[in-house]
């Protein structure tokens, strides 16, 4: 349990959530809609986007809470105290950007409260967070909803969204992120 699961075990388990959700409750897999449900239940504003019967989608909130709870349990019971293993070539490249600490999944060299108030930190955390939220809303769902649920249902918009996610990820990782990290 403390080692990563092989792709041929983890992949089918994730993939099986789609038919289970459809067969058991005629529900769609996706995470981003849970934020809308939370806002609809907590924000008393008269905003049309939040005026719907969010209680019919309460299962999604339990699902997201289960993901959170699973993450807490994994960190407390199954975490590996060893530093993250990074390919030596990647470590050398990252060292050029000032990233040398691999004790956590997210490099604290760039993602921390102090760097939030720098240009690089602001772009990575605030602008990046805004773009992820905007993209999720613009695409009509998140990567898990489109790629796992939408593709399994052979939906053309999900195929287009997934291709866009991949192209955007390649462009970001190979062209834009090095520029941001060098700031």
| Token digits of residue 50 | 């939040």
Report pLDDT for 88.
94
For residue 139, count CB atoms less than 10 angstroms from its CB and return exposed for 0-12, middle for 13-18, buried for 19 or more: buried
Give the predicted TM-score (pTM) of the model.
0.74
> Rounded distance, CA 181 to CA 120, Å?
7
Write down the pLDDT at residue 177: 92
pLDDT at 56: 85
Which residue, among 153, 173, 124, 160, has the nearest Cα to 30 in the 3D structure? 153
Q: Tell me the average confidence (pLDDT) per consecutive run of 10 residues in the chain, 183 residues long.
A: 83 86 83 84 81 85 90 87 87 90 84 90 92 87 85 90 93 94 89
């Amino acid at each position: 349990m403390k080692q990563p699961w092989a792709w041929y075990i983890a992949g089918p388990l994730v993939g099986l959530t789609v038919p289970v959700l459809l067969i058991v409750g005629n529900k769609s897999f996706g995470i981003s809609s849970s934020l809308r449900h939370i806002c609809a239940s907590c924000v008393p504003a008269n905003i049309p986007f939040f005026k719907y019967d969010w209680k019919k989608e309460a299962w999604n909130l339990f699902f997201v809470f289960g993901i959170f709870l699973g993450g807490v349990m994994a960190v407390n019971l199954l975490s590996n105290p060893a530093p993250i293993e990074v390919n030596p070539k990647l470590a050398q490249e990252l060292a050029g950007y000032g990233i040398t600490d691999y004790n956590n999944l997210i490099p604290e060299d760039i993602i921390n409260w102090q760097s939030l108030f720098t240009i690089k930190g602001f772009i990575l955390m605030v602008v990046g967070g805004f773009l992820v939220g905007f993209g999720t809303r613009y695409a009509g769902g998140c990567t898990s909803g489109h790629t796992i649920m939408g593709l399994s249902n052979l939906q053309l918009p999900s195929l287009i969204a997934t291709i866009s996610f991949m192209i955007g990820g390649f462009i970001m990782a190979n062209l834009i992120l090095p520029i941001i990290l060098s700031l």
